[in-house]
Each structure stands twice: as C-alpha cells, then as structure tokens.
Structure 1
Amino acid sequence: MIELERLLRSQGFGSRADCRALIRSGSVSVAGQPCADPFARFEAEGLRFAVDGVAWLYRRFAYLALHKPAGHECSQRPLHHPSVYSLLPDPLIKRGVQAVGRLDEDTTGLLVLTDDGQFIHRLSSPKKAVPKVYEVTTRHVVDASQVGALLSGVVLHDDPEPVAALDCTLLGERCLRLTVTQGRYHLVKRMLAAAGNRVEALHRTSIGGFSLPASLEVGRWMWLEAAELALLAADKGGSF
C-alpha cells in the first residue's frame, strides 16, 4: 500500500508538495472516483488513476517506443533542433525516461525509452549483441561488392578491427536493409562510407524481435508491455 501523494510523485507528477496540491485541488481520481486525500492509501500494482482528466496506469518503470521524426535530437539539452523528449508528456520527462541508444537528428524510426537503468544497461550491453535493423537509402547505386564488404566487414578509420553487418539485403538500387549488433557513433553511416557509398536517409525499423508498429505515427509514442519487452530479445533467444 502507498499514499496517493507518494504514488503520484513516483509517476512523475512533481514534488510531494506539488502532488499534494494536485490532490487537494480535486484534480485526481482513483479507479474512477475523486480523491482529495493525499494520504489515502492504495495498492499500487494495476492501479488506474486520472490527473486533470487524463487517465494513467501505475507503472513501476516506464517503457516506451517512439516513432522518431527527423529534425529531433536525442538529448535533454539539444543544440540545434528540438529534443525527442518534447514529444512526450511532462510526467514521463519528470520521471526521467532516457533513450536507449541515440539516433542522429536526421535518422528516423524506432526509439526505445525507459527510466529503468538496469534495462538500459542490458539492452545496450555489447555482450547482448541485440540486433538493430535499418532501412538505408544511399546516394549511389549499391553493387554486389559493397554488399559483400558490409557482410564480411569494413574497417573504420578509428578502429583497426573490421565491423561486419549481421545481414544486408538489397531492397532497390539505392536502398538496402542492414542489420547491425553494435551501437557505435554514426555506425551505419561510417560503414557505408567505408564500403564506398554514402547514406542519404536512415530509418530504424526494429530492435531485437520488436518492430516499429505500422500504426504508430511519426512523432507518436506507445507504452511497451510485457509482450513487446520480450520481443526485444527474441532474436537472441534471451529475455530481459
């Protein structure tokens, strides 16, 4: 059991004083019933509540998928473009969700965010080798030698060890599907450059066994439930 003001604070609705004021103002309802007592106690697990008419479900940790648009930076302090965090409601920002691996400002597609630090570590760990799939539009026609180089391994200028794609499939003359298991800075762009081409557009379609839903519009986000979280590790046969 947890006091209502503590519960709201854990869900990103501000300080204890902020949450207490929200409750006493009549802005909060629990299981469909108004509650003006900050110290009323509830079983947190599975609790549904509303703040200013917006419905929420208590979640110990927040797990989200965002369809990232171009022109947004994966930073809390963006320098030149809006932050991806500006696409989220304020309580999620206040509870501290972070992107699990960044996408460049011009890269679009699947971005996972959470406030679960252990989850971020597990999903980002090189030991997990979680596959990430990108659709790549190139400046020049992709030839068989470039595909072969990406699959066998290309040498980046700052690393003597070759970096190989897990899979590389041609989708068109200037379009391919590339699967990598590392999360290094500008990795896909640098791999294509090392293979003798250049990335014109980049879109991440999946992480592990979870693919960006076609129904999730650009700039929108969704909760990730247990089934989606399990899919994130499905390709490796593991679990988080």
Structure 2
Amino acid sequence: MRIDKLLSNIGYGSRKEVKKILKNGQVTVNGNIVKDAKFHVDPIVDSVYLFGEKVQYREFIYLMMNKPAGVISATEDDRDETVIDLLNDEEAVFSPFPVGRLDKDTEGLLLLTNDGKLAHQLLSPKKKVPKKYFAVINSPVTEDDVAAFGKGVTLDDGYETKPGKLTILKSGEYSDIELTITEGKFHQVKRMFEAVGKKVVYLKRISMGPLLLDDTLENGQYRELTEEEVLQLKEFSPKEQD
C-alpha cells in the first residue's frame, strides 16, 4: 500500500495534506525517513512513525448507528441525506457502507462497515440472520395475526414469506409489537402487516443477529462496536438453508 494512502485512510489528512507531511520529513518507515508519497509499505509488517509516534493501522471499521427517519441507507445520493453524511471525517475516510438497508422513514439499528466479507455473511439470503423490529400498528393486533405470521403470509406480489415471530406488547386502537424475521424483502414488515389488513405507522429495528441497538444512542448518533460485539458478529453462525 502507498504510504500516502495508508496515512490518509486512517485519518491523517487528505492525500494532498499527507504529501506535505511527507515532504517535511515527518514520516519514518523502519527507522528511515520517507518523503516519497508513492513509497509502498506493508502496514502489518513495517513500523511506521508520524511526528515521532507509531502509526496504529487498522483495515476495518465497524459502526453501530441509530438511524433517524428521513435519512436513506446509501453511500451517496443526489437528493437525500445519507447515513454516510452523518459520519465524521475520521470514520468516513474508511469508506464504510450500510449492511443492508432501512427504509427512509424507518429508524433504528444500522451496521456500517468496510468489511465486505462480514457484510456478505450477514446479508446472504442463504443465511438465517434474525432481525427484530419494534412497530406501532394502526389497529388491534390479535393472536390470529400471531398465528398467521408464524406460518408466513402472502405479500402483495404473491411472495410467501418465511415464518416470523410476532409478539404483542400492547393491543388496542394503536398496537405495539415486536417482529423477528429472517428475510429482508423490500418494505417487508410493512407489507406483512398490509397482508393482514393493518398498517405500520412507526418502525424501528432493534437487533440484527447478536447485535442489539445501544439504547443510549439518540437518533442519528453512532459509535464503534466493541471488540466483543465484532467478535460476536464474526462468530455468529446461523444455519444455512437448503
């Protein structure tokens, strides 16, 4: 990896700014001053120092965001604000992307990372990764709905969903529920309730696999995952489906 790319990727400035630092002789590799921005280093093997301090290189970043409504789950968009727009430069420089998507009006847990292998493991349709949502429904939710969701319902396009676990927290004119599903079809939670004649008026994802939304995060806030959380995600092994 080029030395200017390495330093830029871990937040020491733009490529242009890093080149100025290099020209000033502030960077050493294995004890030798390096001024050439094209100089190649192995960040795992080589010892890189900047301003006399050892550069701690890391390849991946893992962020938990409490996605707010009105922001889209994309890396860029010409019209709407994206979840990447909410990041500070020191995180954005790693070029993370959202793992899966939440609808524009949906809040809650969103994982952002640049670890493509982990993202694939969590998103593969062959994997049974549970995702739990809290929702408010505009009418009473009944045990008949629980039974229907437990068998799977037919969406408006004829697709038969896999079974979902529906839990009624409060049933009334407006009902509070939790729903766990293992798929990620377009607007799936909303369409599942439409299939039983009801409408979702508020939706929030509260977990994905072993990862639980940190309830101290306000809408739009995020934090890095702990080492334990990253390990739990990597070791999470849902059963593959035939």
| TM range, smaller chain | 0.7 to 0.9
Change (3 A) 1:213 1:29: farther
In 2, Cα distance between the equivalents of 1:79 and 1:43? 35
Q: Does 1:153 align with 2:152?
A: yes
Counterpart-to-counterpart distance in 1, 2:96 and 2:206: 21
Which one of the candidate residues 152, 169, 172 is aligned to 1:171?
A: 169
Which secondary structure state, in structure 2, belongs to the residue aligned with residue 120 of structure 1? helix
The residue type equivalent to 1:180 in the other structure is I
1:8-65 Cα offsets, whole Å, 9 max, x none, are: 2333666644422356689x999xxxx99677x89669x99999xxxx9632111111
CA deviations on 1:199-228 (whole Å, 9 max, x unpaired) are 000000011111011222221111123311
Per-residue CA shift, 1:80-112, capped at 9, x if unaligned? 532111110134334321100110111000000
- SS of the aligned residue for 2:223 comes to strand
Q: Which runs of 5+ in 1 are unaligned?
A: none
Task: Give the root-mean-square deviation of aligned CA atoms.
Answer: 3.4
In the alignment, which residue of structure 2 is the partner of 1:190? 191
For residue 139 of structure 2, what is the aligned residue in structure 1? Answer: 140
Q: Is the 8 A contact 1:63 1:224 kept in 2?
A: yes
Q: Please report how far the alpha carbon of residue 139 of structure 1 lies from its aligned counterpart in structure 2 after TM superposition.
A: 0.8
Question: Where does structure 2 lack aligned partners over 5 or more consecutive residues?
Answer: none
Who is 1:58 aligned against? 57
Q: Which residue of 2 aligns with 1:217?
A: 218
Aligned length: 226
> Partner of 1:120 in structure 2?
119
Spell out structure 1 runs of 4+ moving beyond 4 A: 12-15, 22-26, 35-39, 41-45, 47-51, 233-238
Asked if the contact 1:87–1:219 (Cα under 8 Å) also holds between the matched residues in 2, the reply is yes
- Is the strand fraction higher in 1 or 2? 1
Q: CA separation in 1, counterparts of 2:49 and 2:125? A: 39
Q: Is the 8 A contact 1:208 1:236 kept in 2?
A: no
**Percent identity for Structure 1 against Structure 2:** 35
Report the equivalent of 1:93.
92
Contact in 1 for aligned 2:135/2:203 (Cα 8 Å): yes
In structure 2, give the amino acid aligned to 1:64. L
TM-score by length of 1: 0.78
Inter-CA distance 79–151: structure 2 relative to 1 (3 Å threshold): farther
Aligned partner of 2:207 in structure 1 is 206
Q: Identify if the C-alpha distance between structure 1 residues 139 and 103 changes in structure 2 by more than 3 Å, giving closer, same or farther.
A: same
TM-score (ref. length: structure 2): 0.78
Deviations 1:96-152 (A, max 9, x none): 211001101110000001111111111101222110000010011111111211111
Q: Compare CA radii of gyration and give the structure with the larger one.
A: 2
Contact 2:43/2:57 (<8 A) preserved: no
